[in-house]
Amino acid sequence: MEFYVDIADLESIKKVAEYYPIDGFTTNPKILTKEAGKVEELIPQYREFAEKNDVKVFFQVTVEKAEDMLAQAKKLKAYYGDHLVVKLPAIKESYKAVRLCKAEGICVCVTVVHSMTQALLAAKAGADFVAPYISHIDNIGADGVTAVEEMVMAFENGGYPCKVLGASFRTTDQIRRLATVGCQAVTITPEMFDLLIAHASTDASMEGFRKAWKETFGEKQVSDFIPE
């Protein structure tokens, strides 16, 4: 499974990458507004980070006509090269734009997906990723994990090489369940990365190790027993 950081703050991205293996980071227009006043200086820093770490960077277009989407995508592609994944919202114009972008060799993610049929047409159009919003799907009375499972099965049955990129999570259990149904990628907040490895039993075991060692060896460390 691929793991992406869902944030535009570069320092947060770097901190996550320091500890966890990531495949890149995802942004959208709303996320980028949180960096208002810094976007111009962040744009080249994003590229430097992507090139240095060989990861993907996701940018969403901010126009709604297919030809305009293509124009923005081409400009982003010229700057970020093969590190770019351009995000197109699951609206009618985007299904045309997917094919236009793919003809130019641009990697595409159809985003804000809320149904399997939206995802299916995106995959057939040639999208490289579809991004269903798991908790949003739950909010409208469906089941986000089941929706992803249907997408994965439909893509396999249709022979579409499109990856499902799960987004919008409330719990780590949603991510666990996605992994079991074949979801290929997720994008999550920095806080969610920490929650994925947190476990009370692990903490209790560590406390037991510390106590036993200190009671037996005091301040010595295991490396102290290695002969010079």
* Per-residue pLDDT tens digits for 190-216: 999 999 999 999 999 999 999 999 999
Tokens of 53: 């770490």
Instruction: Write down the domain spans for the chain.
Output: 2-199
Share of the chain above pLDDT 90, in %: 99
Q: What is the pLDDT of residue 161?
A: 97
Beta-bridged to residue 84, according to DSSP, are 57
pLDDT at 113 over 90: yes
Q: Which candidate, 204, 148, 140, places its Cα nearest to that of 174?
A: 148
Q: Which residues, listed in sequence order, are joined to residue 56 by a DSSP beta bridge?
A: 24
Check pLDDT > 90 for residue 66: yes
133: left (phi over 0), alpha (psi -120 to 50) or beta: beta
The pLDDT of residue 52 is above 90: yes
Provide the greatest CA pair distance for the chain. 71
Instruction: Specify whether 87 is catalytic.
Output: yes
Torsion sign over Cα 6, 177, 131, 134: negative
Helical H runs in 28-104? 29-33, 39-53, 66-80, 92-103
Residue-wise pLDDT tens digits, 184-195: 999 999 999 999
* Residue 77 binned pLDDT confidence (cut-offs 50, 70, 90): very high
For tokens 């590190």, name the residue.
83
Question: What crossing angle do the helices spanning 39-53 and 66-80 adopt, rounded to 10°?
Answer: 60
Q: Kindly name the residue from 87, 96, 124, 214 that is annotated as catalytic.
A: 87
Instruction: Give me the mean pLDDT over the 134-150 stretch.
Output: 96
Tokens of 88: 């197109």
Mean pLDDT of 74-91: 98
Handedness of CA 208, 214, 219, 222 (dihedral sign): negative
Q: How confident is the model at residue 173 (pLDDT cuts 50, 70, 90)?
A: very high
In angstroms, the CA 207 to CA 191 distance is: 23
Contact 36, 9 (CB under 8 A): no
Mean pLDDT of the chain: 97
Closest by Cα among 29, 142, 45, 14 to 86: 29
Mean pLDDT for 123-150 is: 97
pLDDT at 228 over 90: no
Q: Classify 9 in phi/psi space as left (phi over 0), alpha (psi -120 to 50) or beta.
A: beta
| pLDDT value at 148 more than 90 | yes
Structure tokens at 158: 């249709």
- What's the rounded Cα separation, in Å, for the pair 92 and 160? 20
Topology classification of domain 2-199 = TIM Barrel (3.20.20)
Q: Which residues contact 14 (CB under 8 A, 6 or more apart)?
A: 49
CA-to-CA dists, residue 18 to 11, 21, 70, 158, angstroms:
10, 8, 34, 38
